[in-house]
Chain A
Amino acid sequence: MSALLAADLPYWVQSLLRVLGGVVAVLLPAGAIVYLFLFKMMSFMQSRLGPMEAGPYGSMQLFAEVGKWLQKEDITPERADRVIFKIAPLVVLASTFLLVAVVPFGPDAWFTNFEAGVFYMLAVSSVSVLGILIAGWSSANKYSLLGGLRAAGQLIAYELPMVLAVIGVIIQAGTMNLQGIVLAQNTGEMFGWNGLGNPYILTQFTGFIIFMIAVQAELTQTPFDMPIAESELVSGYMTEYSGFRFLTFFIAEFATAGVFSFIASVLFLGGWGVPFAWFGWTDIDSVDNWMNVVGPLIMFGKMMLLSFVIMWVRFSYPRFREDQLQRFAWKVLVPISLVNIMVTAILKVAL
């Protein structure tokens, strides 16, 4: 497993490379999603062109926006809790960076190879709730506090279906290691035919749908954007943030969309791998080294596909009411995912 990264480099060089890789793996998807989907795709869906001035087809618009935000004055409300107000966006962004640390991009191209990677992913994604809660509280604004409380209630409610949806995958793969899940999908076979491997979107389709719905809710994207509902809460917990602190929230939101798409593609779409039977590989160690270059590209493609779906849903549906949102999580998603776990476990033992 240590051919590429751990070759002969000292520990600090490895760590530096991993941090740089993590920054790229967080910022690149965020930029791509914001420009391609938020700026362009949304505009096309609404019969307009979107940004066209900065660069060809407005492709430099991102840099213009970031430049604009960095120039703005950094305002802290007079009665706010200053220290916590400033820490809160960083907690949310840190949760995103911790999340990308477990995603495998190739046979040797990983940041950390946690034994219990799926479990780590679920634990770390719940840290962002803390950041959102204290952002809402420290702003000393009743809209912010309401938004923060709504966000916390929603994230707690939708974390449960997410955990339960992933359990089906874990049962089927027999491991919680994300590399192990990639391996299990790409060496799997459907009725004795191994030409496509066995991506779990086919066997765990219910789990996949529930996972994507829960991701949508975790990102507080429409139709689950009750916490930042701009027409009644004036952007909820983000109301008082301006300048680069707002930018931090903004990056964290779209970077998390990208990272969750990465994780969903590992869990359900086969991750970085191609079906191992194509090239006669049998396990991770026998995978050729060029997969370390092709793997990240495959991951990026799958990530763009899934975040396209996330954004498409975001632009298409109206918002849930608060009670509908909670009822949907507890009375629809949780029971279905429990049944899914039972059926998967029975089939796993029976087959």
Chain B
Amino acid sequence: MIAADLLVAQNVGFGIISLLMIIGAVRVVTVSNVVHAALWLVIVLSGAAAQYLLLSAEFVAITQVLVYVGAVMVLFLFGTMLTRARIGAESDLNNKNWFLGIPVALLMLGVMSYVIVDGFGSERLIDNSGDMQPIPVQLISDDIFGPYLLPFWALSFVLLVAVIGAIVLARKD
């Protein structure tokens, strides 16, 4: 018998979206066509956006859609279509060293689980399912441009360096 407080709409939604994301993630690495793999990745990334929405983290969800679905995946597809995007299955898509990825993935899983358990431990989300209020954008901007200003600057500096590097690499003269 499942406890009654587990069978709320949010949990059911979480389950369905997670299932879709897992199927999508497996298909990304098993499918034998580059464009299909990219499209399965779109499903995984939009699933992440939907999960953020379930947590009423509206701003993060929209950012996820804008950055990953709208920009990163479009660039992925654009790049593959310019170079090697044939229709139909390709046989030589798998890297022959693919098994090296397994220990790396397990290590990442371990590190992530440790960080999350260590950081939040027994903390629980506040149950405000009665009237879930989205987090105001002002709070997020106050945080980013307040205590996290220095990391924010450092990140934008890294991006600037990357952009200049790309221009240097692309210039012929």
Contacts and interface: CB of A to CB of B under 8 A. Distances in A.
B48 interface: no
A307 interface: no
Interface residues of B, number: 27
A12 to B, nearest CB: 12
B137 interface: yes
Contacts of B77: 130, 133-134, 137, 152
A130 B87 contact: no
A149 B65 CA distance: 21
A325 interface: no
Contact of A140 (B59, B78, B87, B136): B87
Contacts, number: 80
A119 B35 CA distance: 28
A80 B87 CA distance: 7
Interface centre among B36, B58, B62, B88, by most chain A C-beta atoms within 10 angstroms, is: B62
B137 A176 contact: yes
B73 interface: yes
Contacts of A84: 35-36, 39
A160 B136 CA distance: 24
Interface string B111-151: 00000000000000000000000111100000000000000
Contacts of B81: 133, 136-137, 145, 148-149
A138 interface: yes
A176 B137 CA distance: 8
Interface string B58-92: 11001101100111011101100110010110000
A42 B17 CA distance: 47
B74 A126 contact: yes
B42 interface: yes
Q: Tell me whether chain B's interface is mostly helix, strand or loop, or mixed.
A: helix
Nearest to A119: B62
Contacts of A123: 62-63, 65-66, 69-70
B62 A116 contact: yes
B10 to A, nearest CB: 14
Contacts of B78: 133, 149, 152-153
Interface in A73-87: 79-81, 84
A115 B74 contact: no
Interface centre among B42, B74, B75, B78, by most chain A C-beta atoms within 10 angstroms, is: B74
Contacts of A145: 81
A124 interface: yes
A115 B87 contact: no
Nearest to A132: B74
Interface string A143-183: 00100110011001001000000000000000010000000
A250 interface: no
Nearest to A159: B70
Contacts of B87: 79-81, 137-138, 140
Interface of A: 79-81, 84, 114-116, 119-120, 122-124, 126-127, 129-130, 133-134, 136-138, 140, 145, 148-149, 152-153, 156, 159, 176
9 contacts: A79-B87, A81-B87, A116-B58, A123-B62, A123-B65, A124-B65, A129-B70, A137-B35, A137-B77
Interface of B: 35-36, 39, 42, 58-59, 62-63, 65-66, 69-71, 73-75, 77-78, 81-82, 85, 87-88, 134-137
Given A127-B70, A130-B74, 12 more contacts: A81-B87, A84-B36, A115-B59, A116-B58, A119-B59, A119-B137, A120-B62, A126-B70, A127-B69, A137-B85, A138-B87, A153-B78
